Amino acid sequence: MDSITTNEEFSAPHEAVVEARPIWRRWLWPGVGLGIVLVFLGLLTLGLRTAGVPGPQAGQPAPDFSLTLFDGKPLSLRQDLAGKVVVVNFWASWCTPCRDEAKLLEQTWQDYRNKGVVFVGINYVDTEPEARAYIQEYHNTYPNGPDLGSKISHQYRVQGVPETFVIDKQGNIVGLPAAGTSSQTPKFTGPVTANQLAALLDQLTQAP
Amino acid sequence: MIKPRVRLQPRYLLMLGLLALAWLTLAQTALAQAPDATHIQRITDRLNCPLCQGRTLTECEIPVCVQMKSLIQQKLAAGVSDDEIMQYFVIQYGQQVLNEPTAIGFNLLVWVFPLIGMIAGAIIVAVVLRNVARRKPAEAPAATRPLPEEYLRRVEQELKDF
Amino acid sequence: MADIGYLLIVLGLAAAVYSMVTSVYGVSARRPALVLSGRNAALVAAGLTVGAALMMEFLLLTHDFNVRYVAETTQLGQSLYLTITALWGAQAGSLLFWSTILAGYTISVILVTRNQHRDLLPWATSVLMLTLAFFLTVLVFLRNPFERLTFIPADGTGLNPLLQHGGMMIHPPNLYMGFVGFTVPFAFAMAALITGRLDDTWIRTTRIWTMIAWTFLSMGVLLGGRWAYDVLGWGGYWGWDPVENASLLPWLTATAFIHSVMVQERKGMLKIWNMILIVATYGLVIFGTFLTRSGVISSVHAFALSNLGPMFLGFLTLVLLMAVGLIIYRRDLLRSKNQVESLVSREASFLLNNMLMVGVCFAVLWGTIFPMISEIFTGDKITVGPPFFNKTVGPIFALTMLVMGFIPLIGWGGATTEKFLRHLIRPAIATGIGALALFLLGVHQVYALIGFSLCLFTGYTTVSEFVNGTIARRRATGENPFQALVNLIQRNRRRYGGYLVHIAVVFIGLGIVGSQFYKQEVTQALSPGESMQIGDYTLTYLGLQQDSDLVKQDLYGQLMVSQGGQQVGVISPQQEFFTAANQVMTIPAIRSTPKEDLYVIVAGIDTQSNSLTFTAHINPLVMWIWLGGVLLILGTIIAAWPAARREPAPVTEAVAERASTRI
């Protein structure tokens, strides 16, 4: 009796007929099946490579970024801020802990702006009117701009706000001690405290 | 239980056809009466909460979403068109803010592939079943044969197995 | 103690590898002693893995915060059940849990089948051991759950607040039991392919293990939905999140397999297809584990970006290539002996069912990985959200529902078209009347109307099957209706159990359609004494309640619910603030009735004006989803329960029964 399954290759009634088929027909469906599996695995491999690009790491060069500030001026990390100590602060107007550190950031910036330190505020997932109002409210004067398309926060693997990265004069991410382990973390998670930041900046500005 | 009163096939077809028609009319009327979402909701339904995955702006009440919604309201009041609003949000938050990718360019593939898959599946099943239909006339006489003992046994077996 | 735990997994790995090698070598070299040794080694490996899990439980319960995993998932004052369930509350532990369940399955398989399948079992064992060895390797080299900290913290950080919920007890274990369970059918399939013994024995064994895994996975998926509904507080139960999709994918292929395997048992057809489905199911299980742990696709559930990705991808590649290679190698042995005999036959409808299930699977898989693909080729991150899935999967599920409705109308081997149409008339009329009634009652959304009509149709045809069968039995035996129904089901468990599952799916379908198309939502800020309206409910805010323990602070907004002017009770949606994790959870209060759920959350707190913002949802018919879940489990148990020996029914009665249900 004949047989029917999902495709003709498999429905060949007898061995003899199978053998009589041209080789390409005999291998057509197995080839297609194998091909699909290989393409699937290939895509996953590529996806893994894309996703596997590591975020900022302590001691490694900081990912470059450029943004348009709220006042309309462009700013690029590598071009405009080379040789300076850079404090990159991710914030949002809806973020309550950010408000805890807002004044402190401005204060510290005022204290260190003449010692080769630049603060950059990056506005993370926010709405423009509220963001501007926030800057007004806290009188933040350091360069500040929206993270259009969430590109920078993605580059920096930002998981929430506030997060603060510090970049040294050589353009590398400064490693910070992580609680509980001997390893270092590349960022402050949560609001920074005055002592932490000031101590770090003193050390970095004095370093060559 | 329906007793086999009528044997004429066309009549059944006609009845079923009429039913289908009545049903379609009903559906048609329903379509015309579907309630209208509010203007702002039509936009927020198409946008994602940028922070919580898999939730639309409509469903989300976290602060940033509330801010985004009020921004949309402001823009609508200022006479900005829906498309411009969507575009603005894409620039602000990236493509991922749209909960359905715009069907242009590469992203068209997200729709095309399942369609191709379904069509291919349908063709495969159709081919398999057509082979059956083709063979059918030859088998037709078998159906009129009286049930042999062996068949009864098989029926019983089937019942037991199912 | 932690070091002993680590030692256990290292030894377990060694035993698994030893078992794998000796089983394969023993069976190829025909050395029964080695095969036996391999089997015992498998039991030892499984035992050691279980031992490691018990050791972890011991560490968790004794709050040994020196162990990093314990410090990260428990804290003082965390309730006992959460401390126990912390075993699967984070990555390393959940991998250990995975291995432990696999160990459990391995032990059961070996004990249950030790005297059968003498030729298959060694191979199946080695495939099981291959999987176990892989997971233990990950534990030993990449994610040691017994890793120690350099110091002893005074307290741990506690379990992720999202997981601090009663569902944690049952949802993940069910899901894992389902996921891991598919390793067994895969192992037997591989064994059958390797030995070339592709007769019916392996498929019978495989069917039962697939049913077991499928039942757990069904429960796991449904409980996951319930969990999201009860804890996440956005009013929905399914968000097409990658992790949810990962659990759905193997469920779909397994569902297809459960159906098409009947065609193989009965007709000897679709052998290659069934093999593909088994392999696909297992592949999707590993893929799902990969997806949720590699960080390839971001998800709210996903464990953080990790170096596990390449390991899992490597393993996935290995098993897929092995399986596909074997299928191709054995494809001549897998040819069908039979054919579909009629267009209008159960075989044909199962074929359709398979196409639809695999279609859904493909669409979901594609939608899930598409953001990744898009990022590879265009560099843009995009979202493929619920609208995509609803638009692609919705219609396919609707078609599936329709096919399901046809099933009782047609038998194996087929019916003539005329007979089929004749059987169709009653259900069609009933559906028509029902749809009209729904329309008059106010169901005006066209997709909802279609969805409800399909549920109605399938419900009608399936329930008729029970009714007609009962009537026929009563006529034949004179039993009372209840007795007749019970006997009817009992004599034909597989069939009627299956139909019960179909009715369960109708329930779930009703719930989904109702809640998708008719949900309402109102958000309003209330000061004490004020009230808000939603549907025919009036919610009056009574006041704020607070309480706190070591782990969290709870804040309840008490609301008096009246419906149609009548007070029906007080509900208290709450916000839980988890101190250690610095995270707020919004826990809804749900008032559930068969007609609809009233679902209220505290959306915001304004301490200055002493007001709370509430979001109230009405989710119609949601309860039917959970009812359907219960029925689904019941039906599956009835269908899968091993049949007791019994006297064969007299032919005449059986035929009468059959005839009566067909006409």
Instruction: Identify all chain B residues contacting A7, using CB atoms and an 8 Å cutoff.
Output: 124
* pLDDT exceeds 60 at position C646: no
Decide if C516 contacts C505 (C-beta within 8 A): no
Q: Are B67 and A94 in contact (CB under 8 A)?
A: yes
Helix/strand/coil percentages in chain C, nearest 5: 65, 10, 25
Mean predicted confidence (pLDDT) in B59-78? 87
> With 60 as the cut, is the pLDDT of residue B137 above it?
no
- From the CA atom positions of chain C, what is the Rg in Å? 27
User: What tokens does A193 get?
Assistant: 């405290």
Q: Is A46 on the interface with C (CB under 8 A)?
A: yes
Q: pLDDT tens digits for B95-133?
A: 888 888 888 888 899 999 999 998 998 898 888 777 766
Q: Which residue of A has its CA nearest to C340?
A: A4
In sign, the C-alpha dihedral spanning C260, C263, C264, C268 is negative
Q: How far is CA B82 from CA B45, B79, B89, in A?
A: 12, 9, 11
Q: What is the mean pLDDT of residues C522-529?
A: 89
Q: Does A68 touch chain B (CB under 8 A)?
A: no
User: Judged by CB atoms within 8 Å, which residues 74-93 of A form the interface with B?
Assistant: 92-93
Query: Domain B39-106 sits in which CATH superfamily?
Result: Cytochrome C biogenesis protein (1.10.8.640)
Indicate the helix (H) or strand (E) that contains A91. Answer: strand A85-91
Cβ atoms of C552 and C577 closer than 8 Å: yes
Neighbours of C300 (CB within 10 A): 17
Helices of type H across C86-120: 91-112
ipTM at complex level: 0.85
Q: Considering CB atoms only, which of B67, B68, B93 is closest to A149?
A: B93
Greater confidence (C15 vs C652) lies with C15
A-facing residues of C in 519-538 (CB < 8 A) are none
pLDDT 10s digits, C535-565: 889 999 998 888 888 788 888 999 999 998 8
* The pLDDT value given to residue C422: 82
> Can you tell me which residue has the tokens 């034949």?
C476
A4 contacts: CB under 8 Å, gap ≥ 6:
A11, B128, B131, B132, C269, C336, C339, C340
Residues in B touching C429 (Cβ below 8 Å):
19
C413 pLDDT band, cuts 50/70/90, is low
When pLDDT is averaged across residues C393-416 and rounded to a whole number, the result is 85
**Other Cβ atoms within 10 Å of C649 Cβ, number:** 15
Judge whether residue C160 has pLDDT over 70: yes
User: Which of A117-126, C155-164, C330-339, C436-445 has the lowest average pLDDT?
Assistant: C330-339
| Mean pLDDT within C238-263 | 92
Distance from CA of A204 to the nearest CA of B (A): 34
Q: Which residues fall within 8 angstroms of residue C96, CB to CB, at 6 or more apart?
A: C9, C49, C52, C53, C56, C87, C139, C145
Amino acid at C8: L
Q: Is the Cβ of C378 closer than 8 Å to some Cβ of chain A? A: no
* β-pair partners for C395: none
Task: Supply the mean pLDDT for chain A.
Answer: 83
Burial of C30 (0-12, 13-18, 19+ CB in 10 A): exposed
Would you call C374 and B106 a contact, using CB atoms and an 8 Å cutoff? yes
From the CB of residue C538, how many other CB atoms can be counted at a distance below 10 Å? 18
Per-residue 3-state assignment (H helix, E strand, C coil) for A153-181: HHHCCCCCCCEEEEECCCCEECCEECCCC
Q: Does A70 touch chain B (CB under 8 A)?
A: no
Nearest by CB: C339 against A2, A33, A46: A2
> Which residues between 178 and 197 in chain A have a beta carbon less than 8 angstroms from any beta carbon of chain C?
180-182
Among chain B residues, the shortest Cα distance to A161 is held by: B51
What is the amino acid identity at position A143?
A: P
pLDDT of residue C300 exceeding 70: no
Distance to chain C for B77, nearest Cα, Å: 21
Q: Inter-chain contact A44–C338, Cβ cutoff 8 Å?
A: no
Domain assignments of chain B as residue spans, ordered by start: 39-106, 107-162
Percent of chain B clearing pLDDT 70 (strictly above): 67
Does residue C367 contact residue B110 with C-beta atoms inside 8 Å? yes
What tokens appear for C63 in the block?
Answer: 């709050």
Cα separations in angstroms, C366 against A78, C15, C20, C462:
39, 39, 35, 33
Tokens describing residue C171: 């949802």
**Comparing C-alpha atoms, which of C131, C137, C172 is closest to residue C301?**
C172
Give the pLDDT band of residue A15 (cuts 50, 70, 90).
Answer: very low
Residue C44 has which token pair?
């030892």
pLDDT tier for residue C14 given thresholds of 50, 70 and 90: very high
| A65, A151 contact by CB (below 8 A) | yes
Instruction: Assess whether pLDDT exceeds 60 at residue A13.
Output: no
Q: Can you say whether residue B94 is alpha, beta or left, with left for phi > 0 and alpha for psi between -120 and 50 degrees?
A: left
pLDDT score at C258: 93
> Chain B residue with minimal CA distance to A130?
B67
pLDDT category, C652, cuts 50, 70, 90?
Answer: very low
Interface with chain A: mutation pick from B48, B72, B93, B98, highest number of A CBs within 10 Å:
B93
pLDDT at B150: 53
What are the tens digits of pLDDT across the range C172-220? 999 999 999 999 999 999 999 999 988 878 888 888 899 999 999 999 9
Q: Is A42 on the interface with C (CB under 8 A)?
A: no
Please give the average per-residue pLDDT across A150-166, as a whole number: 86
Between the CA atoms of C541, C547, C553 and C556, what dihedral angle is there, to the nearest 10 degrees?
A: -10
Binary contact (B94, A94; C-beta < 8 A): no
pLDDT in tens, C454-508: 999 999 999 999 999 999 989 888 888 899 999 999 888 888 999 999 999 999 9
Name the pLDDT band for A207 (thresholds 50, 70, 90): confident
Test C436 with B162 for CB contact under 8 angstroms: no
Q: Count Cβ atoms within 10 A of the Cβ of residue B4 and give its class: 0-12 exposed, 13-18 middle, 19 or more buried.
A: exposed
Q: How many CB pairs (< 8 A) connect A and B? A: 44
pLDDT confidence band for C22 (50 / 70 / 90): very high
C498 vs B contacts (CB less than 8 Å): 162
Residue type, A81: L
Whether the pLDDT of residue B52 is over 80: the answer is no
Q: What per-residue confidence (pLDDT) applies to C266?
A: 81
Which of residues C178 and C659 earns the better pLDDT score?
A: C178
Query: Is the confidence at residue B158, as pLDDT, over 60?
Result: no
- Do the chains contact at C424 and B153, CB–CB below 8 Å? no
**pLDDT recorded at residue B2:** 42
Q: Can you tell me whether residue C558 is helix, strand or coil? A: strand
Pairs of CB atoms within 8 A across B/C: 211
Query: Would you tell me which residues 62-91 of chain B have a C-beta closer than 8 angstroms to some C-beta of chain A?
Result: 62-64, 67-68, 70-71, 74, 90-91
Q: What percent of chain C has pLDDT over 70?
A: 94
CB contact (8 A) between residue C313 and residue A48: yes
Query: Mean of the pLDDT values across residues C412-437?
Result: 83
- pLDDT attached to residue B32: 59
| CA closest to A12 among chain C residues | C335
Residue C540: strand pairing partners: C531, C560
Residue C656 buriedness (CB in 10 A; 0-12 / 13-18 / 19+): middle
d(CA C645, CA B160): 12
Q: Given pLDDT bands bounded at 50, 70 and 90, which one contains residue C41?
A: very high
**Alpha-carbon gap: C287 to the closest alpha carbon of chain A (Å):** 10
Q: In the predicted model, what is the mean pLDDT of residues C10-29?
A: 95
Both tokens assigned to B15:
């009845």
**Residues B128, A5 contacting (CB under 8 angstroms):** yes
- Rounded to an integer, what distance in angstroms lies between the CA atom of residue C467 and that of residue C482? 11
Least Cα distance to C548 among C528, C575, C583, C586 occurs for C575
What's the gap in Å between the CA of C377 and the closest CA on chain A?
A: 10
Highest mean pLDDT among A192-196, B2-6, B27-31, C87-91: C87-91
Euclidean distance between CA atoms C291 and A48, whole angstroms:
10
* Contact with chain B for residue A151, Cβ under 8 A: yes
Phi, psi (degrees; rounded to nearest 5) at C533: -115, 135
- Which chain C residue has the Cα nearest residue B96? C382
The model's pLDDT over C562-578, given as tens digits with 9 standing for 90+, comes to: 998 899 999 999 998 88
Please list every residue in chain A whose beta carbon sits closer than 8 Å to the beta carbon of residue C375: 47, 50-51
Residue C433 has pLDDT above 50, yes or no: yes
Which residue, among A26, A48, A159, would best test binding to C if mutated, counting the most C CBs under 10 Å from its CB? Answer: A48
Q: Which carries the bigger pLDDT value, residue C653 or residue B151?
A: B151
Mutate to test the interface with A, among B67, B125, B132 (most CBs of A within 10 A): B67
- Tokens in use for C485? 């129904």
pLDDT of residue C628: 96
- CB distance B68–A127 less than 8 Å? yes
Is residue B155 very low, low, confident or very high in pLDDT (cuts 50, 70, 90)?
low
- Give the 3-state secondary structure of C488-536: HHHHCHHHHHHHHHHHHHHHHHHHHHHHHHCCEEEEEEECCCCEEEECC
Tokens found for residue B11: 């009549």
Judge whether A94 is closer than 8 Å to chain B, CB to CB. yes
C653 pLDDT more than 90: no
In the three-class reduction of DSSP (H, G, I as helix; E, B as strand; rest coil), residue C79 is classed as: coil
Is the Cβ–Cβ distance between A70 and A150 less than 8 Å?
no
What pLDDT sits at residue C205? 85
What span, in angstroms and rounded, lies between the C-alpha atoms of B81 and B78? Answer: 9
**Most confidently modeled range among B137-151, C46-60, C438-452, C530-544:** C46-60
Which pLDDT belongs to residue B144? Answer: 39
Average per-residue pLDDT for chain C: 88
